[in-house]
Amino acid sequence: MTAGRASVKDVALRAGVSVGTVSNVLNRPDAVTERTREKVEQAMAELNFHRNASARQLRAGVSHTVGVIVMDVGNPFYTELARGIEDRLATVDHTLILCSSDDDPVREERFLKLFAEQGVRGVLVTPMSSTAPRLGDLRRLGIPSVLMDSSRNTQHPSVGVDHISGGRQAITHLLAQGHRRILYLAGPSDLQQTRHRLRGAIEAIQAAGLDAGDVLQVTNLPSLSANEGQRGLIEALDGPGPRPTAIFAMNDIVALGAMRELRVRGLSIPSDMAVVGYDDLYFAAELMTPLSSVRQPMRQLGWAAADLLLTDQPHDLFEPELIVRASSDFAR
């Protein structure tokens, strides 16, 4: 036997049988006698043999691997999303390859080409504005794809959350608390989630009979990090014009950065400034001042995306839910 991974030929040599007999033991055990099967299985154990699933799938023309591209696997939102995908794929003995696009079109395109070369079963991706056209190349190769965390797309299979409702819930709550100067620490303007949450916020303000231009100040952050959330709040507090009394953050991580700056300045939450995040990540309820947040069903979203890829059965938009805690409610 050569050094390295044991092959079918190595097993056949150790067991004193043909390569075809070893293949039968692996794929059609009923076709060999019990004595022969035991002899081959003993040789496999001695050689620590494991079948090469990739080679087997290549021969069969069917892959059990799904490619997944998210914005940032370091973000707990995408970690939970990936867990939902993994749970659904596990029900059919599939695995996933997880990559981060970092909101970089070049990086995303490189991963899509890699998936195409590997002949994956399908691709799941949290899209940028330029993503959908690239998926046409995969479709022409017979590789299906699904957009994740994306509102219903008539041109492409997708699963998503009603972020218009999420933005509406957050701002309706802050208005009910008496706030009339609200800072929206938003994501990049080309993100669908940014636009839809803004639309929901404006709808809530208009429903209250107020002027969105008077109530809402929007700061688009280049990335959704705690440092950017802090920087965005610094600009709002040190800039001209009246100071906001409440913050609606694009996600909980951005909210953390804003809360850090409030602590630096000795401002109290929520009496000096209320804060509402988005996602309801695991730490939101555990902070010294528990964070109000619009909860997304992260695992369910991942499960639904994988299920759509595997079954082609569409899923309704998920409805987010505002979880009110002490960061925005004086009574808590």
Domain of 70 in residue numbering reads as 63-161+297-318
Residue at 311 is within a domain = yes
pLDDT in tens, 271-294: 999 999 999 999 999 999 999 999
Domain count of the chain? 3
Residue 252, pLDDT > 60, answer yes
219 and 281 in one domain? yes
pLDDT, the chain, mean? 88
Strand pairing category for 122-125 and 65-70: parallel
Name, in order, each residue with C-beta under 8 angstroms of 264's C-beta and a sequence gap of 6 or more. none
pLDDT: which is higher, 19 or 91: 91
Residue 74, pLDDT > 70, answer yes
Structural contact between residues 276 and 289, judged by C-beta atoms closer than 8 angstroms: no
DSSP string of 205-234, one letter each residue: HHHTT--HHHHEEEEE-SS-SHHHHHHHHH
Which pLDDT band, with edges at 50, 70 and 90, does 2 fall under? very low
249 and 100 in one domain? no
pLDDT value of position 19: 84
Residue 157 Cα distances to 154, 191, 269, 308, angstroms? 7, 18, 42, 8
pLDDT in tens, 196-249: 999 999 999 999 999 999 999 999 999 889 999 999 999 999 988 889 999 999
291 and 144 in one domain? no
131 and 26 in one domain? no
Beta bridge partners of 184: 218, 248
Residue 15, pLDDT > 70, answer yes
Which pLDDT band, with edges at 50, 70 and 90, does 56 fall under? low
Residue 44, pLDDT > 80, answer yes
Tell me, what CATH number does 41's domain have? 1.10.260
The pair of structure tokens assigned to 207 is 């429903």
286 and 178 in one domain? yes
299 vs 285: CA distance, rounded Å: 18
DSSP symbol at 32: S
Residue at 58 is within a domain = no
pLDDT value of position 331: 66
306 and 189 in one domain? no
Among 73-87, 117-131, 260-274, 316-330, which is the least confidently predicted range? Answer: 117-131
79 and 33 in one domain? no
Residue 54, pLDDT > 70, answer no
Strand pairing category for 182-186 and 145-147: unpaired
- Alpha-helical runs (H) found in 208-325: 212-215, 226-238, 252-264, 298-311
Residue at 56 is within a domain = no
What's the average model confidence in pLDDT over 125-139? Answer: 80
305 and 251 in one domain? no
The pair of structure tokens assigned to 243 is 């100071």
pLDDT value of position 58: 46
Residue at 1 is within a domain = no
pLDDT value of position 62: 62
Residue at 313 is within a domain = yes
Q: What strands lie across the sheet with 65-70, from one edge to the other? A: 95-100, 65-70, 122-125, 145-147
231 vs 225: CA distance, rounded Å: 10
Which pLDDT band, with edges at 50, 70 and 90, does 60 fall under? very low
For residue 270, give the nearest of 288, 251, 250 by alpha carbon. Answer: 288
pLDDT in tens, 133-182: 778 878 888 889 999 987 655 578 899 999 999 999 999 999 999 999 99
77 and 154 in one domain? yes
Residue at 329 is within a domain = no
Residue at 253 is within a domain = yes
171 and 282 in one domain? yes
Tell me, what CATH number does 104's domain have? 3.40.50.2300
304 and 287 in one domain? no
36 and 24 in one domain? yes
162 vs 152: CA distance, rounded Å: 9
pLDDT value of position 141: 80
Residue at 2 is within a domain = no
pLDDT value of position 1: 46
Evaluated on CA atoms 79, 84, 85, 87, the torsion sign reads: positive
